[in-house]
Amino acid sequence: MKAILILDEMPDSCEKCPLLRYDVVRRIGCAVTSNIVIRKVGEKKPKWCPLCLMPEEQDICGTYPREDEKTPSYFIGWNDALRAIEGSGEDD
C-alpha cells in the first residue's frame, strides 16, 4: 500500500527538510529513507531524496464541450485527483 505526505513547501536542501532527524550518535539522517545525510550546508537535495513536486492542475480548454465532442475526462479526472490528494475536493 502506498502513502502520500503533503508538505506546504518543497525543501531545496536536507537542512531545510522537516524529515531530517538525528540518531543517538548525533548523525543526521533522513526519516524516510534512513540514509545518513552527509551534505554541506546549502547543498541541493540529493538524487535519492523521495520527495517530488506535486503536479500542477491541467487547464481545461474553454472550447469544450463542443457540440460534437465531450470534455476530455482525463483532464477533469487529473484535476479531481490532485484536489483529493491536497484535501481540497468537493467531498470535504
Q: Convert the pLDDT of each residue in 1-50 to its tens digit.
A: 778 888 888 988 888 889 888 877 777 888 888 888 776 666 788 888 88
What 3-state DSSP class applies to 28?
A: strand
Q: Is the pTM of this model over 0.75?
A: no
What pLDDT, on a 0 to 100 scale, did the predictor assign at position 22? 81
Residue 67 pLDDT exceeds 80:
no
**Dist. CA 77–CA 80, nearest whole Å:** 5
- Alpha-carbon distances, residue 52 vs 28, 44, 55, 68, 83 (angstroms): 21, 13, 9, 39, 17
Indicate if the pLDDT at residue 92 is higher than 60.
Answer: no
CA dist., res. 79 & res. 3, Å (int): 19
The pLDDT, as a whole number, for residue 12 is 86
28-35: long-range contacts (C-beta < 8 A, 24 or more apart)? none
The answer to whether the beta carbons of residues 75 and 84 sit under 8 Å apart is no
| Position 90 confidence tier, pLDDT thresholds 50, 70, 90 | low
- Residues 17/11, Cβ–Cβ less than 8 Å: yes
> Tell me, what's the pLDDT at 79?
81
